[in-house]
Amino acid sequence: MDLNKIFGARKTVAQVEEGNELAPKFDALGLIPAVTTDYDSGELLMHAYMNAEALFLSITTGEAHYFSRSRQAIWHKGATSGLTQKIRELKIDDDQDCIWLRVDVSGGASCHVGYRSCFYRTVPSGSGIATDGPLELEFTEHEKVFDPNEVYKGAPNPTKL
């Protein structure tokens, strides 16, 4: 099957921005960023990347698939952890270089560290912030939903320095 059949050619700016044909832009590495929010709460759960195959699989199965840059492989979210993401709505932005997934999460967590959302820390901001040293983050989630050591059983941590 030629999975690229579902993607139209990018011909003009007007077509891409104002048209009704899916014509996504993949970057030099063949990737498009994907933003995933919780359908009910609107909370930002994670930010990842898709290649053409991951986008095709997300669209046609209704379950979130990404491309793992650390493993260089298709990543069916939840295949290891059971924490799958059911796509309720899939949107694309004006210049069609970013995907928005609105999902229901099985098991209630999307972060490999064990938290509900990957965004479990706040950065202080606003006038009056001291800029003479590293800023201190504040945790907004205080309990993990799962224990990553149990769920991933020693698989390598995807975080890179």
For residue 83, give the nearest of 18, 16, 147, 9 by alpha carbon.
147
Given 46, 50, 54, 109, the residue binding a copy of itself (CB under 8 A): 46
Alpha-carbon distance values, 10 to 26, 33, 43, 114 (Å): 11, 18, 32, 39
30 is a contact residue toward a copy of itself (CB under 8 A): no
CA angle 64-70-72, nearest 5°?
70
Q: What is each CA distance from 127 to 9, 90, 124, 130, 133, in whole angstroms?
A: 46, 37, 10, 9, 16
Interface with a copy of itself includes 118 (CB under 8 A)? yes
Nearest approach, Cβ of residue 97 and a copy of itself (Å):
8
Q: Among residues 88, 85, 90, which one has the least CA distance to residue 107?
A: 85
Subset of 68-87 contacting a copy of itself (CB under 8 A): 87
CB of 82 to a copy of itself, least distance (A): 19
Q: Considering the complex, what minimum distance in angstroms separates the CB of residue 138 from a copy of itself?
A: 7
- Looking at the Cβ atoms of 58 and 81, the one nearer to a copy of itself is 58
**Closer Cβ to a copy of itself, 16 or 83, answer by number:** 16
Residue 27 lies near a copy of itself (rule: CB under 8 A): no
User: Which residue reads 């229901």 in tokens?
Assistant: 104
Residue from the set 50, 105, 109, 111 that interacts with a copy of itself by CB under 8 A:
111
